[in-house]
Amino acid sequence: MLKERSGIQPEPELICIEEPVPSGHLLRKIDKTIDFSFIHRKVEHLYCAHNGRPPVDPVMLFKMLFIGYLFGIRSERRLEQEIKVNMAYRWFLGPGLRGKVPDHSTISRNRQDRFAGTGVYQEIFDEIVLQTMKRKLVEGKTLYSDSTHLKAGANKNKYEKQPVGKSTRSCLAELDEAVGQDRAEHGEKPLKPQAEEPELKETKVSTTGPDSGYMVRDGKPKGFFYLDHRTVDAKHSLITDAG
């Protein structure tokens, strides 16, 4: 007999956050394999030890960025909203069902101010790779490297033209030195060095994304891009280097 469903039940329910998260969930596997507590040691020098309000746990901040990367959530605002409603994300981060999720602006502020210009991101990445090596998840026998261009969130019409000097002298310096040594060993006089005029060119530098580069390639859209490369270990397809 077909019956209409009543509205959402207002009665409180007692539930453990462990229950809704599947035993085989990716975040469970990561949590079992990687000890993220080392992050505190890596970033403690970036916080004031004597005054100020208690900060958001840095382990939680980096785990939030980790979730965003793993599950393709590129917006920090959307990342905040997804964590609020996703049981697995909450379980992985640790705030429980009622705990407050850090505001997206907190992630941005720490990423752009506190951690900017430091090597902490690379240090955390390297430590995670070392932990996977200790657990025999990375062999180092077969590695795959590849690179691609990632579109930058920069306005292609907002840029400044800057001159750049391009010279092959740095590439030929070692060859010139080897030739000089060979001639000296055979009792010959060194060759007279030849001055090389650099080839002057202009390049576009974005005013909204200065770390990106302007790409002009046949069959590719013109605009500002980042060059992204990855090295992956073949055993479990774990990234061991990125840049």
What pLDDT does residue 190 have? 80
What pLDDT does residue 14 have? 80
Residues 163 and 202 sit within 8 Å (Cβ to Cβ): yes
Mean pLDDT of 201-211: 81
- Chain mean pLDDT for the chain: 85
- Tell which phi-psi region holds residue 237, choosing left (phi > 0), alpha (psi between -120 and 50) or beta: left
pLDDT in tens, 32-41: 999 999 999 9
pLDDT in tens, 175-190: 777 777 878 888 887 8
Against a cut of 0.85, is the pTM above it? no
Residues 136 and 118 sit within 8 Å (Cβ to Cβ): no
Range in 82-86, 114-118, 135-139 with the lowest mean pLDDT: 114-118
pLDDT confidence tier of residue 13, bands split at 50, 70 and 90: confident
What pLDDT does residue 103 have? 92
CA distance 185 to 190: 11
Residues 214 and 159 sit within 8 Å (Cβ to Cβ): yes
62 by Cβ neighbours in 10 Å (0-12 / 13-18 / 19+) ranks as buried
3-state DSSP assignment of residue 242: strand
What pLDDT does residue 200 have? 63
CA distance 34 to 26: 12
Q: What is the DSSP secondary structure assignment for residue 226, as one 8-state letter?
A: E
What pLDDT does residue 134 have? 94
3-state DSSP assignment of residue 214: strand
Other C-beta atoms closer than 10 Å to the C-beta of 42 total 17
